[in-house]
């Protein structure tokens, strides 16, 4: 089974003034070709897992994307660098600042595994139909 992982040190922002360094892990599996999983505080005592579409992640790296529980947007710095901002939750939101470059490289690797637009060809229909029985 084809899988792709990325672990990063990121910043969780508590309010607008308190940065909290944590780790996160992005993961992708060809078994679920439409989704990416993002685990916040991956090495902590209470990791939090969010699953959302790979397309949403790709869109969020270039412009504000999402209108539900997960919203992403890029922020370009004066030095030419870029951060990916992730907001999770609707009423009680959390904000995370993630270096965009390694995420873009990781996302490109997922497209090598499963080409954009070919996700449906990777779906394991036998596994899905067994769930219906």
The DSSP result for 38-57, as a single string, is EEETTTSSS-EEEEEEHHHH
Closest CA to 118 of 51, 30, 36: 30
Residue spans of the domains in the chain: they are: 3-132
Query: Band of the pLDDT at 77, cuts 50, 70, 90?
Result: confident
CATH class of 3-132: mainly beta
What's the pTM?
Answer: 0.85
- Whether residue 132 is predicted with pLDDT greater than 90 in this model: the reply is no
Higher-scoring residue by pLDDT: 24, 132 = 24
**How confident is the model over 117-133, as a mean pLDDT?**
60
**How confident is the model over 97-113, as a mean pLDDT?**
95
Per-residue confidence (pLDDT) for residue 129, from 0 to 100: 58
């Amino acid at each position: 089974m084809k899988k792709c992982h990325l672990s990063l040190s990121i910043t969780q922002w508590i309010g607008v003034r308190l940065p909290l360094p944590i780790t996160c892990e992005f993961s992708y599996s060809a078994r679920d070709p439409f989704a990416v999983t993002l685990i916040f505080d991956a090495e902590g005592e209470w990791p939090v897992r969010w699953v959302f579409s790979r397309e949403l992640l790709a869109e969020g790296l270039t412009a504000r994307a999402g209108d539900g529980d997960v919203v992403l947007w890029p922020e370009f710095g004066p030095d030419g660098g870029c951060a990916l901002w992730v907001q999770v939750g609707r009423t009680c939101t959390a904000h995370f600042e993630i270096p965009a470059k390694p995420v873009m490289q990781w996302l490109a690797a997922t497209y090598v595994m499963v080409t954009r637009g070919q996700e449906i060809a990777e779906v394991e229909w036998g596994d899905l139909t067994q769930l219906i029985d």
